[in-house]
Amino acid sequence: MLTLKYQRLEQRLGYSFSDQRQLQLALTHRSHGASNNERLEFLGDSILNFIIGEALFKRLPDAREGQLSRLRSQIVKGDTLALLAREFELGDCLILGEGELKSGGKSRDSILADSVEAIIGAIYLESGLDLCRERVLTWFAPRLNELSANTSAKDPKSRLQEYMQSQRQPLPEYTVVEVGGEGHAQVFTIECRVALAKQTTRATASNRREAEKQAAALMLSQLKID
């Protein structure tokens, strides 16, 4: 018999397990003991890749193999799965060993992502591919709807760096031009400079990393790189 918090998790998942021990197993980290979710995670990872790959194949008939692979990697990567787990409030339901519990395992991205894959594996074993596909596509619908064949899986900084390397040019330089605001409300202005562009680009954001990404995006635009 599952407690109320697990019943609420089933409501958020949109799926009720007939054998609730499968849900408990899917939520059990290896730190808790030999009976854990690692095998379900392995299965769920394979099924997730298939379902998302199939969905992209059907949605983007003109996309090339490389584009489809890139988009699938973007959707099923650990960061995305961890975000989905947080939307389900999965952390409160995880079954962890004492050490992992004390060290903040309930909020660790890798553990959250693995648990989502394990749940997918558990649903597949209990109800088969069709129902599992329906649940996964419902969970990922907002992310799938945002994609097109030209969506980049890499952030602007990575794309700019790779482009400069492909042109045998020095890597981009990022300089903090100004730091404004106070305490938690600081804003950073970053300048991006590359050898192939006469003009630098600047961007301002609430943290340095985001400002660098925005400055890189502006540079990509200036260089006319899609």
* Torsion over CA: 125, 126, 129, 131 (sign): negative
Closest CA to 111 of 139, 88, 82, 83: 82
Kind and range of the H or E run holding 45? helix 38-59
CA distance 180 to 186: 5
Task: Please check if 41 is assigned to a binding site.
Answer: yes
* Annotated active-site residue in 10, 19, 38, 45: 45
117 noted as active-site residue: yes
Task: Please check if 62 is assigned to a binding site.
Answer: no
Question: Any idea which residue has 């339901």 for tokens?
Answer: 93
Surface-to-core class of residue 114, CB atoms within 10 Å of its CB (0-12 exposed, 13-18 middle, 19+ buried): buried
* Annotated active-site residue in 79, 87, 117, 130: 117
CA distance 52 to 27: 22
Task: Please check if 114 is assigned to a binding site.
Answer: yes
Annotated binding residues, written as ranges, equal 41, 114, 117
Annotated binding residues for Mg(2+), written as ranges, equal 41, 114, 117
Name the residues annotated as catalytic. 45, 117
